[in-house]
Amino acid sequence: MRSLAEPIRLQVVQALQHGERCVCDLTSDLDLAQSKLSFHLKVLKEAGLIRARQEGRWIYYRLEPSTLLLLRDWLGQLAVACQSPAPPCA
């Protein structure tokens, strides 16, 4: 969750929502210096939210669906559990 708390990282996730993107496209679309973008990509990768592959000199990033599904399920369980009333005080 901490990795998604940074607005730039949320923008990166949103930029990847329609599929794999080259880092050069992300740099341009998000109007970020490559060094700054690389830092945020590293954080997202370490959190397991994205994965990377290299093709020639370019690196392509995409969302990691299994991690997003785990996050969705966990949030769903929280949503159900938080609706339970408190037990009566003794």
Is residue 50 situated within a structural domain? yes
Q: What is the DSSP string of 21-71?
A: EEHHHHHHHHT--HHHHHHHHHHHHHTTSEEEEEETTEEEEEE-HHHHHHH
**Domain of 15, in residue numbers:** 2-68
**Domain total in the chain:** 1
To the question of pTM greater than 0.85 for the whole model, the response is no
| pLDDT digits 0-9 by tens, 22-78 | 999 999 999 999 999 999 999 999 999 999 999 999 999 999 999 999 999 999 999
Q: Does 83 have pLDDT greater than 90?
A: no
φ, ψ of residue 56 in degrees (nearest 5): 65, -130
Decide if 49 is inside a domain: yes
pLDDT of residue 90 exceeding 90 = no
Q: What contacts 15, CB < 8 A, 6 or more positions away?
A: 21, 26, 29, 30
Which of 49, 72, 43 is CA-nearest to residue 62? 49
Tell me the CATH number at 24. 1.10.10.10
Q: 21 in a domain, yes or no?
A: yes
